[in-house]
Amino acid sequence: MQLYAAVKERMEAMQLHNMSWIEVQFLKKAVDVLCQCRQTLMYTYVFAFYLRKNNQSIIFEVRTLLRIILVNIRH
């Protein structure tokens, strides 16, 4: 995966700047957690698609749209 390759490269660079191998291992764990969160979100959207329309599903849709807008603003 491209993300893991970039993190591995960053970890090696950090080790060149006087950080030990063990000190940079948090980055790999962070990427693992990030990937897990993305997968959870992916299935959440599918689940929300099949929900009956009610106040909670409408709130979820609005929050999703707001997240998309925020991500686009940041880039």
Average pLDDT over residues 8-34: 92
What pLDDT was estimated at residue 7? 92
pLDDT tens digits, residue range 8-18? 999 999 999 99
Residue 75 confidence (pLDDT) above 70:
no
Domain range spanning residue 36? 2-74
Distance separating alpha carbons of residues 28 and 33, to the nearest angstrom? 9
How many domains does the chain contain in total? 1
Nearest Cα neighbor of 12 from 29, 30, 23 is 23
- The model's pLDDT over 41-65, given as tens digits with 9 standing for 90+, comes to 888 878 777 878 888 888 888 888 8
Average pLDDT in the 18-46 region? 89
Q: Is the pTM of this model over 0.75?
A: no
pLDDT of the residue at 27: 92
